[in-house]
Structure 1
């Protein structure tokens, strides 16, 4: 779904090391040595956006807290929807309203569509040989076009339906065998998403015991996600001092270790696909087959396709797809279980549209499930998986909301705050799917044309995986709600379900969602009635 997210501004325990006097002294020297257009002379010439006062060296880093999207929303309420911060030594514009987002991602999109060069993204994307983190250039345009055609086009999404159906069948089987006992829903949904994306990328072998590397890959992927989410001094002090601090805290060494593990895994998989004795894929070429074909083919494009291109794109496929869709489904189920009447409404609607004579929902049933689609849309409004989207960077001096924003300013779009903005939404904190079926929100979608709802971004850097993510999310939820009746563990009331968030690369429920599934038996229900 939503592209690999990517800026987590929380300050873990490693930050305590940053307060050591020698490091602060070095940072102070570096800050004093650097002359920027943001200096006093520049301030007299430019009409900069407002923002909170800053501390020496830290700037506004200390104001971010454990959940940056929430802290930034609170700051924006005092300083405005286009707010200038300095995170370490990095000037950062935070936009928190639909109108400000429209200026950044539509009106001035061509000036605000690059990506900042951060060390974690650079290393784990093989020197920006990917789509999510590559700076805006002719190279990026060609890679995005190739990525969409080979993995994310409507044709590919439809062709991958066999993977979604197969993994949903497995999910239904696992939950049915639970026999009415409590299950940790997130684990089951994550396994499904991992199977869907893994099958599309690696072929049918991914879901079998023949794929001996699967568990190891999970461990490496978890490490990669954790490394991207962790604090890196060089993200906020992009100079020799930031690099020195990352070496001192072990951040750089950890990043390199994760990269080597991920690289070794990708090499094994690519070598298997290059093996001439490999049997032809049962369901046709998988994603790596398509990339390998480009690797073997001479072409005249600006992209000289190499192994590193394949690896960079694969890192996007997994880090941007598995976790984001899983998070959205868990939030949707949590919101519904807290509202029994709404849960019954969506289940009855699905069962009436699909009929009682099927084992599960089929893809052809999906266009009939309008209320379910509104539930997903409302979930994305309140709980965007990547609340700050991926950071952008201005290519040149630009005007945003009447303010001057110099070149190479980092931009954060707070999709979480925009989705809860009272200026755009009535009762913004209330979970109400029906809002999309009435009034001025009827027809509002997340395809990048309505800036009050931007969980996937908009403009040139909009998440290209939106179609695949939404299709998988809707189809999985439809089957969970059709095939099972859901309840909380004995003794727990709906209002006791915690909706507290936990920070990271994506925003999860802090407290795991434990539910009791009971297989729905339409014939028993009909007899009882």
Structure 2
């Protein structure tokens, strides 16, 4: 969770007496109320052993030794790790009000305007109002249905590009067209425009949000050792973060200025997210003072949250299908049989594909893009027989819970049929499967994400047959991940698309 260089700096700059200071600062009685866990080094605790790219695996292995709830010390901060469906339900449903805080990390707070949006906000009245605004006005079923023409247009454009590759039998890195599609789709929904044309505007946009995504997954030394923020500053982290934040802020302000132009014409039913929010601001139709900073923070939330996760999820699903020829054949037979011989499948047609839906659930069970759900205790609480103080980090290891052998037969096997005889859905009501979270902090973008995912995947499987490039075997495909807010596949999935006749 922390780069080796920072750990080295920490040890080189801290005098030995700090260890005794730490021991005095830590309340031994408080420590005894927490679940037991692996021993760590003085001062840095367990930080030195943790790696963001495989953190879900590391925590899963630790849970086998220390049980479904244990404690890690991340510097001065204790973190409670939850790895069972029963405890996840306890934390995210039964005691949800006590566990619905969010960890405060320097970079995430700065990029999110000090947490005045949905993703990184503490559980307070501001968060409640912002969520209400978004769920009722931006991500409502009516709005999402209204975005269908945009989804359809962008998916068709992606299919046309893949068709060009198919005609020439070119190898496709599937991540590229999917990210491009989602960027265009989300930008059009949120900003009312796209950045698909090559040029300085596109380069600027991509550069800004690549860096934004990087910062959202970056941890400062002071996140775990608050009194060592001077080292972060000495290393230039704050100045680089401030630079990116100011550039992002200028970008958002330009979007707001464009939308505030009195000559800008918007047809009814075609309002983008920025327009909706600014209209609410103008009409004073919210119970809070909706500022430009709130608008900017919400724009950031949706741009970052909706683009990467859907693209990453589609790649993981296609990875599972390519590795499992039986399932790929079966799902394509269903789609082509029920969908008929059509060049493009509409959203209402896709809803009747039961095996297709089971494939998505099974892939999200095994390879969800965000394998760990971060929370923080909002107040003191008791779980698993342990008293947890307020402001304690809580990591729900969804990746491990989705593989619980008590919940699933042969949990490591990719077997979509397991979802054909039950009513488990993706809405976080069953704690054997909750890839989008659950409770108050459940991802509010679930309907938007699933609408895009269904349309993209169904048409990819209907229109094309997919093969591996020459020399690549199914067993060569791995499941390694890149670190980040959304975990993309580390090694690209290269495929050859062949037009289905």
TM-score band w.r.t. shorter chain: over 0.9
Alignment match of 2:393 (pick from 379, 385, 410)? 410
Task: Give matches, 1:518-529, under 5 Å.
Answer: 518-521=498-501
- Which range moves more in the overlay, 327-336 or 497-506? 497-506
Contact (CA 8 Å) 1:176, 1:519: kept in 2 or not? yes
Task: Give matches, 1:90-129, under 5 Å.
Answer: 90-129=77-116
SS in 1 for 2:223: helix
Contact (CA 8 Å) 2:184, 2:196: kept in 1 or not? no
SS in 2 for 1:136: coil
Alignment match of 1:221 (pick from 197, 203, 209)? 209
The alpha-carbon deviation at position 500 of structure 1 amounts to 2.1
How much is the aligned-residue C-alpha RMSD, in angstroms?
1.9
Aligned in 2, Cα 1:139/1:381: closer, same or farther, shift over 3 Å? Answer: same
Contact (CA 8 Å) 1:12, 1:230: kept in 2 or not? no
Aligned in 2, Cα 1:365/1:296: closer, same or farther, shift over 3 Å? Answer: same
Aligned in 2, Cα 1:32/1:460: closer, same or farther, shift over 3 Å? Answer: same
How many residues align structurally? 498
Compute the TM-score of the two structures, normalised by the length of structure 1: 0.90
Task: Give matches, 1:303-322, under 5 Å.
Answer: 303-322=288-307
The alpha-carbon deviation at position 16 of structure 1 amounts to 4.6
The alpha-carbon deviation at position 94 of structure 1 amounts to 0.7
Contact (CA 8 Å) 2:107, 2:218: kept in 1 or not? no
Cα separation, 2, equivalents of 1:104 and 1:24 = 39
Aligned in 2, Cα 1:26/1:214: closer, same or farther, shift over 3 Å? Answer: farther
Alignment match of 1:255 (pick from 241, 254, 258)? 241
Cα separation, 1, equivalents of 2:372 and 2:17 = 30
The alpha-carbon deviation at position 281 of structure 1 amounts to 4.8
Q: Which residue of 2 aligns with 1:189?
A: 178
Aligned in 2, Cα 1:30/1:471: closer, same or farther, shift over 3 Å? Answer: farther
Cα separation, 1, equivalents of 2:445 and 2:37 = 34
The alpha-carbon deviation at position 12 of structure 1 amounts to 3.0
Cα separation, 2, equivalents of 1:465 and 1:306 = 22
Aligned in 2, Cα 1:190/1:451: closer, same or farther, shift over 3 Å? Answer: same
Cα separation, 2, equivalents of 1:170 and 1:200 = 16
Contact (CA 8 Å) 1:82, 1:401: kept in 2 or not? yes
Task: Give matches, 1:145-224, under 5 Å.
Answer: 145-178=132-165, 179=167, 180-203=169-192, 205-206=193-194, 209=197, 213-224=201-212
Aligned in 2, Cα 1:272/1:426: closer, same or farther, shift over 3 Å? Answer: same
Alignment match of 1:505 (pick from 485, 495, 499)? 485
Q: Which residue of 2 aligns with 1:3?
A: none
Q: Which residue of 1 aligns with 2:319?
A: 334
Q: Which residue of 2 aligns with 1:525?
A: none
Contact (CA 8 Å) 2:45, 2:75: kept in 1 or not? yes
What's the CA shift string for 1:355-385, capped at 9, x where partnerless?
Answer: 01x2111112111111111111111111111
Alignment match of 2:340 (pick from 336, 339, 355)? 355
- Unmatched 5+ residue regions in structure 2? none
What's the CA shift string for 1:61-105, capped at 9, x where partnerless?
Answer: 123234111111111110011111111111111101101100100
SS in 1 for 2:194: helix
SS in 2 for 1:503: coil
Q: Is 1:384 aligned to residue 395 of structure 2? A: no
Cα separation, 2, equivalents of 1:185 and 1:251 = 34
- Which range moves more in the overlay, 190-199 or 226-235? 226-235
Task: Give matches, 1:45-56, under 5 Å.
Answer: 46=33, 48-56=34-42
The alpha-carbon deviation at position 155 of structure 1 amounts to 1.2
Q: Is 1:424 aligned to residue 413 of structure 2? A: no
Cα separation, 2, equivalents of 1:95 and 1:501 = 21
